Amino acid sequence: MAGCIALMMSIPAFQTVSAGPRFPLQDVRHDVKDIHHDRRDIRHDRKDVAQDKVQLHRDIRQGHYRAAAHQAKDIARDKRDIRHDRKDLRNDRKDLKQDVKP
């Protein structure tokens, strides 16, 4: 049995089959799933930014400047995540559009 598998793997035709070509339906499902996750991540990060801004203003009013600096860094990190997720979302939409072309 092992000899048969080794022989099959030495033939180029079987090597390409074993690589597992992706079918358009799998690509569409993958892109839709990615779009859903990117949207969820964006919503979550926006919620975090809003909460962090409230805390930032509270820290500034109370004179907690070290905590305010920490909140400002957290806001910047969340905004960077949002930009990254938006870029991923654009790419996923582009991929999905290409996958469903007739």
Domain ranges, ordered by start, for the chain: 22-99
Residue (of 83, 58, 84) closest to 70 by Cα position: 58
What number is the average pLDDT over the span 12-32? 61
Model confidence pLDDT, tens digit, residues 79-101:
999 999 999 999 998 888 887 77
- pTM attached to this predicted model: 0.68
The b/e string for 32-41 (b: 16+ C-beta within 10 A; e otherwise) is eebbeebeeb
Residue 8 has pLDDT above 80, yes or no: no
Burial of 55 (0-12, 13-18, 19+ CB in 10 A): middle
Distance CA(31)–CA(95), nearest Å, equals: 7
| CB contact at 8 A, 49 and 78 | yes
Distance CA(89)–CA(35), nearest Å, equals: 6
- DSSP, collapsed to helix, strand or coil, labels residue 45 as helix
